[in-house]
Chains A and B, each alone.
Chain A
Amino acid sequence: MENILKDIRYAVRMLARNPGFSLIAVLALALGIGANSAIFSVVNAVLLNPLPYREPDRLAMIYHKYPDINLMDASLSPPSYVEYRDMTASFERVAVGAGWGVNLTGAGEPERLQGARLSASFLSTLGVEPALGRNFIPEEEQPGKNNVVILSHGLWQRQFGGDQGILGKTITLDGNGYEVVGVMPPGFSFFREVDIWSPVAFTPEQLAADNHGNENLLGIARLKQGVSLAQAQSEMDSLADQLRQQFYRNTNWGISLVGMREQLVGDIQPALLILLAAVGCVLLIACANVANLLLARAASRQKEISIRAALGATRLRVIRQLLTESLLLAALGGVIGLALAYGGVKLLIAGIPPDIAQFIPGWKSIGIDSRVLLFTLAASMLTGIIFGVIPAIKTSKADLNETLKEGGRGAASGSRSHALLNLFVVAEVAISLVLLIGAGLLVRSFINLQEVKPGFNPQGVLTMQMSLPQSKYRERFQQAAFFDEALRKISSLPGVQSAGVVDNVPMGGNNSQASFMIEGLEIAPGQSSPHGDRHLASPDYFKAIGISLIRGRFFSHQDTADSLPVAIIDETLAERYWPGEDPIGKRMGAFFDRVDGKVRIREIVGVVSHVKQYGLDGTSRVQYYFPVAQRPQSAMFLVVRTSSEPSSMVASVRSAIQSIDSDQPIFSVKTMEAIVSGSMAQKRFATFLLGIFAIVAMLLASIGIYGVMSYSVSQRTHEIGIRMALGASAQDVLRLIVGRGMLLAVTGVVLGLVAAFWATSVMSSLLFGVTATDVTTFIAIPMALAAVASVASYLPARRATRVDPMAALRCE
């Protein structure tokens, strides 16, 4: 122990004596370790921490799938919920839930709440209990008995000041009274932030066998102890075979189970792992740089090491001393790195908009916890060993006799040391090339993404949501009248060019799909009906959002509840079902749109541009629109195109709404540009981070080349002097040094290209409009890196050309 303390004391002294070296090494390591700890803290919170539900590995999502229309995650219908709950043996519990938006009034400022209707067993299926009060009970799943709610901790605090006596009190939602029976613990969420939960209650009609097509429920299940997901899937496949015969005769419909972790983190996992690998590479490059610094410094320490050896220090003992110094450097790097990670984590959290982050499980718990501290400690120690061990072994292998002689040169200037220095530089270049190519591909993807035409014009558009309470606007004509009046008032506001309503705005995260039929189109046995994005829109919605008319007309104010039912389709639907034909005047209907139980047939009056509903890189489905006047609903998005800055219109739009109904809140106020930008946030952030890491890697690699070339020049001063004395020109010397630097760089580039071909294949899922082996990227990036390497070699080479031959020769 005493010897270890001595080693540490000596190491501290050595580092203090070489502040420049120590500072550079510690900063390089701090950068590498800090970046790793920051990214690891995200990986830890999102991927490693257990989901906040009891035994989460036993939880699964239940989806319906329609493979022939590539719809693999359709929701469940009320009767299928009952079937899975009652007819399966693999599950301990099956539960369903659905979105629920309500206006809270009577508790201060009216507030629009995001809520969910849950089957009584939903929370117990997840394995969570209210912190205050009780869970829902099965009796509350019946219509008329379900006016009870559980509040989120946030809502309880925000609207009710954390009132401990809240249980049993009645609150007003959409004008109806609901008894508060529970309050959830802080931090509880499932999929997204929700303020309030209430039991779902199905009417006999909803549970009837002919309602199998009404799929709007999110299904979850808890597997019985000892039952695997595969076993449960097998049972569901058998059940699907039975049900298909009875209720889905014309389709290849099926049921799929998805593990809860896969469901929640499956999308973000590849990006996080790639980022973790990228920062790992940055740390490796930092290690190589510090190792090179240590190797170069070894030359000046040969004598000291030889003295120690001459006095009886074994090689192991010398290595221990040198490793103590490396570990001390790494520990210092780790401490500063941790501080950098703390700041980095804050930046990471700030980098993703909250309305996207809420869908990333664990996002809120990202921070420096004990596991991150342990990771940082391990990373620091491992780093210290990685960059320290080779220089230590090399340095400890001194030629004692030669080194201890007066004027002995020491072994570090030998060819083996150079070989090691060169090896590290080649590795640095190779690793940084892999990162640069990865970042290059992501940047190209991002550029491609930005060039994608969304099918509408988001500039100058303001959007907001409104949901009319059933208590006040129970009848559809009331709902239609409210929106008509609102649009009339908003359209007349100064600065408003056009205004419309739609059920879901593009890229807003809410989508509705539905199967439809086309008059005259026969569906073969075993095939599903056509399926697409369905929209309800007002006449001016298309102008307001900037969707172009390709053929026919937009909806007009003459398209009323009493007029001919009409529809507008997008260009992709037209192309798929009427290729080469004019679809205007053709007829279609949607299964959700029925009158007296029959599908309402509509005449197609217009064809519009296709809209990227699910994001610029999202899956595309065919789209169709019905006039909202012919099928009104209570919750709509208001879309306003303005001639001025859209955000400046919020107040006047709000007062226009409140002049019709002062209790009517508006919410989710956003510009369309913000929505489009938000849809790319995750990709933009991943691209930005990988870009930063790649640039840091390239800088470190360049510093590495510069360092090795500088060291080489200092070691070869005598040789250069001789060459110049013998007649070598400055150009000859320049060529000699830059040539050597470029040889290293090119070797690194070749190895890096091989590694990049393999490495980029794992990031295919993150790319858009560019292949993982994109030729342009694979040519341009190596050339850029070679150019940087040539500059890094040129600077020391230029110094070499200024060597005074006489001075250099006198040195000997």
Chain B
Amino acid sequence: MSVNNSLIRLEGVKKIFYTDEIETHALSGVHVEIGKGEFVSIAGPSGCGKSTLLAILGLLDTPTAGDYLLGGKTVSDLKPAERARIRNREIGFIFQSFNLIGDLNVFENVELPLTYRGMKASERRERVEEALEKVGMAHRARHLPSQLSGGQQQRVAVARAVAGDPLILLADEPTGNLDSANGEAVIQLLSELHTQGATICMVTHDGRYARFAERTIHLFDGRVVEEKAKVA
């Protein structure tokens, strides 16, 4: 499927894991394109390669073969430091298990990627406050993650992901560890961010949340088996 204004483009991406003498093909020649401002969900049964695909998109992992273009530039064979720089500036992550740092408070967690960017303290503060405001967590800025509910932790994780104003938000089962009410709230939040112009790619196997995306890519056995756009 061709996408106008392409932000992400995967061409023939393969990922093979080697364990002892066994090869496991997690992805087998995947072609994916995501346009700027799109909200795409990746769905499929457990073990189909969803998370591997998201890890490659997030430059947390490298493809065994194939090309990955982000913003028109090939990023599949960059050096670790350059990959770290892109992760910091162009990509925002939201994980299923929130992955907040327990020893940092909410403000510091959200501030962390901006610190790595070398941003001035005053600008950091402004951005963090804005991001926390956006997710409705400004009032808990000085709390530690352990003092928050799961839903609140995930909202903080969303704030951390958007604070750096990335090109794309990658969310891996963002509702997986939440009850339905909190899950719904997080999806609503992502939806609002999308409405404000954010590009989002979300892995989920929950049909209720996949419907919030404009397009759903179905994976099976490491291949894209179906792409379905949402009917307006």
Interface residues in chain A, defined as those with a beta carbon under 8 Å from any beta carbon in chain B: 2-3, 6, 10, 13-14, 17, 303-304, 306-317, 400-401, 404-406
Q: Are B112 and A308 in contact (CB under 8 A)?
A: yes
Known: A2-B121, A400-B60, A401-B55. A312 touches B113 (CB 8 A): yes
Q: A317 — nearest CB in chain B belongs to which residue?
A: B116
* A310 contacts across to B, CB distance below 8 A: 58, 60, 87, 93, 99
**Shortest beta-carbon distance from B99 to chain A in Å:** 5
Determine the distance from Cα of A406 to Cα of B84 in the docked complex, in whole angstroms.
Answer: 22
Contact of B85 with A312 in the complex, beta carbons under 8 Å: yes
Q: Is the CB of A312 within 8 A of B61?
A: no
Question: Is the CB of B89 closer than 8 A to any CB of chain A?
Answer: yes
Given A3-B115, A310-B87, A404:B81 Cβ within 8 A: no
Q: Does B209 interact with chain A (Cβ within 8 Å)?
A: no
**A311-B103 contact in complex given A6-B115, A405-B51, C-beta closer than 8 Å:** no
Using known A-B contacts A10-B104, A13-B103, A303-B99, determine if residue A309 contacts B52 with beta carbons closer than 8 Å.
no
Partner of A314, one of B51, B58, B84, B93: B84
Residues of A within 8 A of B52 (CB): 401
Which of the residues B81, B97, B118 comes within 8 Å of A406, measured between beta carbons?
B97
Q: How does the 8 Å CB contact mask read for B50-72 relative to A, with 1 for contact and 0 for none?
A: 01100100101100000000000
- Tell me how far the C-beta of B144 lies from the nearest C-beta in chain A, rounded to whole angstroms: 11
Contact A307 B81 (CB under 8 A): no
The answer for the CA separation of A309 and B84 in the assembled complex, in Å, is 7
Residues of A within 8 A of B104 (CB): 10
Instruction: Check if A312 sits within 8 Å of B80, measured CB to CB.
Output: no
Which chain B residues lie closer than 8 Å to A14 at the CB level?
103
Q: With both chains docked as a complex, state the minimum distance between the C-beta of A497 and any C-beta of chain B, in angstroms.
A: 77
Report the 7 A-B pairs with minimum CB-CB distance, sorted nearest first: A312-B88, A311-B113, A401-B55, A400-B60, A401-B61, A314-B84, A312-B116
Let me know if A315 and B103 touch, CB within 8 A.
no
Q: Which residues in A have their C-beta under 8 angstroms from that of B101?
A: 304, 307-308
| Interface residue from A6, A304, A314 paired with B81 (Cβ < 8 Å) | A314
Q: B117 and A312: CB pair below 8 A?
A: yes
Q: A10-B103, A311-B93, A313-B84 are in contact. List 12 more A-B contacts (CB 8 A).
A: A3-B118, A13-B103, A307-B99, A307-B100, A308-B101, A311-B116, A312-B84, A312-B88, A315-B84, A400-B60, A401-B52, A401-B61
B112 near A311 (CB under 8 angstroms)?
Answer: yes
B218 sits at the interface (CB 8 A):
no
Q: Which residues of B contact A10 (CB under 8 A)?
A: 103-104
The chain B residue sitting closest to A13, CB to CB, is B103
Tell me whether A406 and B80 are in contact (CB under 8 A): no
**CA distance in complex: A14, B101 (Å):** 11
CA distance A677 to B147 in the complex (A): 67
How far does the alpha carbon of A713 sit from the alpha carbon of B168 in the complex, in Å?
Answer: 43
Given contacts A303-B99, A308-B101, A310-B93, contact A404 B60 (CB under 8 A): yes
| Interface contact B60-A401, CB-CB below 8 Å | yes
Which one of B55, B99, B118 has the greatest number of beta carbons of chain A within 10 Å?
B99
The answer, yes or no, to whether B160 is at the interface (CB within 8 Å) is: yes
Distance (whole angstroms) from the CB of B45 to the closest CB of chain A: 17
A residues near B61, Cβ cutoff 8 Å: 400-401
**Do B87 and A311 have beta carbons less than 8 Å apart?**
yes
**B96 contacts the other chain (CB 8 A):** yes
In this complex, what residue of A is CB-closest to B98? A307
Q: Which residue of B lies closest to A303 (CB)?
A: B99
Minimum CB–CB distance from A403 to chain B (whole Å) comes to: 9
Task: Please measure, in the bound complex, the distance between the C-alpha atom of A14 and the C-alpha atom of B103, giving whole angstroms.
Answer: 7
A312 to B87, CA, bound (A): 5
Residues in A neighbouring B176, C-beta threshold 8 A: 406
**Residue B95 interfacial (CB < 8 Å):** yes
Assembly CA distance A303 to B103 (angstroms) = 12
Known: A17-B103, A400-B61, A404-B60. A311 touches B97 (CB 8 A): no
**Closest B residue to A305 using CB positions:** B101
A684 to chain B, nearest CB (A): 51
Report A-chain residues with C-beta under 8 Å of the C-beta of B160: 311
**Alpha-carbon distance between A317 and B112 when the two chains are bound, in angstroms:** 12
**Chain A hits for B164, CB < 8 A:** 312
> B116 to chain A: which residues have CB within 8 Å?
308, 311-314, 317
- Nearest chain A CB to B225 CB, angstrom units: 23
A303 to B101, CA, bound (A): 9
- Measured CB to CB, the closest approach of chain A to B10, in angstroms, equals 16
B208 → chain A, closest Cβ, in Å?
Answer: 20
- Give min CB distance, A239 to chain B, whole Å: 72
CA distance A3 to B115 in the complex (A): 8
A308 to B104, CA, bound (A): 12
A640→B52 CA distance, assembly (Å): 94
- Nearest-neighbor residue (CB-CB) of A9 within chain B: B108
On whether the beta carbons of A404 and B99 are closer than 8 Å, the reply is yes
Query: Which residues of chain B are near A317, meaning CB under 8 Å?
Result: 84, 116
A304 proximity list for chain B (CB < 8 A):
101-103
Interchain CA distance A604-B52 in the complex, whole Å: 103
Residues of B within 8 A of A316 (CB): 81
Docked CA distance A404–B160 (Å): 16
B residues in contact with A313, CB < 8 Å: 84, 88, 116
A314 touches B103 (CB 8 A): no
A315→B52 CA distance, assembly (Å): 22
Question: Of all chain A residues, which has the CB nearest B111?
Answer: A6
Could you mark each residue 132-170 of chain B with 1 if its beta carbon is under 8 Å from any beta carbon of chain A, else 0?
000000000000000000000000000010001000000
Q: Which residues of the partner chain A approach B84 to less than 8 Å between Cβ atoms?
A: 309, 312-315, 317
Q: Are B89 and A312 in contact (CB under 8 A)?
A: yes
Q: Are B112 and A404 in contact (CB under 8 A)?
A: no
A307 CA / B116 CA spacing, docked (Å): 12
Bound complex: CA of A303 vs CA of B100, how far in Å?
A: 10
Nearest-neighbor residue (CB-CB) of A315 within chain B: B80
- A residues less than 8 Å from B88 (CB atoms): 311-313
Please measure, in the bound complex, the distance between the C-alpha atom of A401 and the C-alpha atom of B61, giving whole angstroms: 6
Name the residue on A nearest B95 (C-beta): A404
Chain A hits for B121, CB < 8 A: 2
Closest to B90 in A: A312
Sample 24 A-B pairs with CB under 8 A, ordered by A number.
Answer: A2-B121, A6-B115, A13-B103, A14-B103, A17-B103, A303-B99, A304-B102, A304-B103, A307-B99, A307-B101, A308-B116, A310-B99, A311-B113, A312-B88, A312-B117, A313-B88, A314-B80, A314-B85, A314-B116, A317-B116, A400-B55, A401-B51, A401-B52, A401-B55
Complex interface bits, B111-127 against A, C-beta within 8 A gives 1, otherwise 0: 01101111001000000
Taking the nearest CB of chain B, how far is it from the CB of A319, in angstroms? 12
